[in-house]
């Protein structure tokens, strides 16, 4: 392993029109509206006050409904972030049928909930693809740290490390990260969480209103990264990455 130096630290000051922190709600992955394999599994994330509510769902049963077809969905335990977000796994009892539009009946367990990445609708939908995805993705480019990002906003500070990678996979994919301190021996408990990949990029860190991972100013970290696709097929692991968290930049007087 080698220490990956910080390539870029950004300090951006947003104007007064910057949006406030998002309301309490949930997010779903793959994002509603996308095409998913018929053996997909979904991830449900609770944000804000919904984190505890989502964390209490394992064992409950939901439904995926399409015209003439219904599939039971069991909620399974997932991950909880240090910054108060919770992800649970939604596992189908049987495959979807190809070429249909399926609605997840979240209202069975979370009536009136706001889905933050589905235009606020409480009944998200997906399009089922042509069949099951049984192939494990392959690495085209293994994870590397490309840059560190620090921003100040009206709501607080944002600190991220941008990870780049490439897979032989068209469907959505996710990085399951175990984050621990690097050379600093302060007995920090490892952080475990999952972050989505967008065009081969995963942002590891936190925004002003919360996030997946807590990063401290200038500290050294070690990240073990496993990647899985929308059907849960796991990519073989890679050597852990080491990096330094972005350092806050002082405002000019």
How many angstroms separate the Cα of 1 from the Cα of each of 92, 142, 158, 242?
39, 13, 27, 7
**pTM of the complete model:** 0.84
Burial zone of 34 (CB within 10 Å; 0-12 exposed, 13-18 middle, 19+ buried): middle
pLDDT tens per residue, range 166-222: 998 777 899 999 999 876 556 678 899 999 999 999 999 998 777 889 898 888 999
Same domain assignment for residues 86 and 29: yes
For the domain that residue 96 is a member of, what is the CATH number?
2.60.40
Q: 145 lies in a domain?
A: yes
Q: Write out the DSSP string of 163-208.
A: EEEEES--S-EEEEEEEEESS--S-PPPEEEEEE-BTTEEEEEEET
- Does 172 map to a domain? yes
Query: For residues 73 and 63, is the Cβ–Cβ distance under 8 A?
Result: yes
10-residue averages of pLDDT along the chain (253 residues): 36 37 84 95 94 96 97 97 92 98 96 86 91 93 91 84 90 90 72 92 87 88 93 89 84 46
Evaluate whether residue 118 is within a structural domain: yes
Q: Flag whether 202 is in a domain.
A: yes
* Structural domain contains residue 252: no
pLDDT for residue 34:
92
Domain C-terminal end among 79, 105, 128 = 128
Give the number of domains in the chain.
Answer: 2
- Domain presence at residue 20: no
State whether 173 and 95 are in the same domain.
no
Structural domain of 115: 25-128
The answer to whether residue 100 is domain-embedded is: yes
Considering 95, 128, 161, which residue would you say is the last residue of a domain? 128
């Amino acid at each position: 392993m080698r220490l990956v130096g910080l390539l870029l630290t950004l300090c951006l000051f947003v104007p007064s029109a910057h949006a406030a922190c998002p309301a309490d709600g949930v997010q779903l992955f793959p994002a509603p509206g996308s095409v998913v394999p018929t053996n997909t599994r979904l991830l449900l994330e609770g944000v804000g006050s919904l984190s505890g509510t989502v964390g209490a769902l394992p064992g409950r049963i939901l439904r995926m409904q399409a015209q003439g077809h219904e599939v039971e969905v069991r909620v399974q335990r997932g991950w909880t972030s240090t910054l108060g977000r919770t992800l649970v796994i939604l596992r189908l009892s049987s495959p979807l049928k190809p070429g249909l539009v399926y609605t997840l009946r979240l209202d069975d367990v979370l009536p009136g909930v706001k889905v933050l990445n589905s235009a606020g609708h409480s009944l998200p939908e997906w399009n089922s693809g042509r069949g099951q995805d049984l192939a494990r993705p392959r690495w085209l480019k293994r994870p590397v740290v490309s840059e560190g990002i620090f921003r100040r906003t009206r709501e607080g500070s944002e600190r991220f490390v941008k990870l780049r990678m490439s897979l032989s996979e068209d469907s959505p994919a996710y990085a399951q990260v175990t984050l621990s301190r690097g050379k600093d021996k302060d007995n920090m408990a490892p952080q475990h969480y999952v972050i989505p990949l967008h065009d081969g990029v995963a942002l590891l860190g936190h925004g002003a209103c919360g996030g997946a991972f807590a990063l401290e100013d200038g500290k050294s970290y070690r990240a073990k990264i496993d990647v899985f696709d929308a059907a849960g097929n796991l990519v073989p692991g890679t050597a852990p990455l080491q990096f330094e968290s972005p350092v806050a930049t002082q405002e000019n007087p």
